[in-house]
Amino acid sequence: MRLALAEAAKAAILNEVPVGACVVRNGDLLAAAHNRTITDRDPSAHAEIVALRAAAAAADNHRLVGATLYVTLEPCAMCVGAMTQARIGRLVFGAYDPKAGAAGSAIDLCNDRHFNHRYEVNGGVMQGECAAQLKAFFAERRQS
């Protein structure tokens, strides 16, 4: 999660919402990324999606079976869908997102019985640090 927080800090420098993610499998880092929606002019360039794409390229496989995705903010529905398609084994996230979180806050798509793949979800890991990073970013934007 510390690596994901460092990635989120990179996003903030680019004026992106500070969310960072990394994908690990068998103790090996496959990818680390941060939000790039503004930079790439791509609404799908959330940290999770960018990390999953890079991890799949590194693994030379679109399936990331057994991988863990660490992300500083609870994923949205789009990102949960991508994690499900990638067949990750576990999701670990920091701050909860009551407005758009799709891993239990606003909606729980990770354990939806309609999907053919489910995975372990651990939320609230380093929640204080993850939430503080986001709060500081938005407080600064409101002052500007």
Q: What tens digit of pLDDT does each residue of 31-85 get?
A: 999 999 999 999 999 999 999 999 999 999 999 999 999 999 999 999 999 999 9
- Non-local CB neighbours of 4 within 8 Å, separated by 6+ positions: 20, 21, 22, 32, 47, 70, 71, 72, 94
CA distance 109 to 91: 12
Just list the catalytic residues: 48
Q: Is pLDDT above 80 for 144?
A: no
Residues 93 and 80 sit within 8 Å (Cβ to Cβ): no
pLDDT greater than 80 at residue 4: yes
3-state secondary structure of 48: helix
For residue 120, what pLDDT is reported? 95
For residue 25, give the nearest of 88, 92, 93 by alpha carbon: 88
pLDDT tens track for 80-120: 999 999 999 999 999 999 999 999 999 999 988 888 898 99
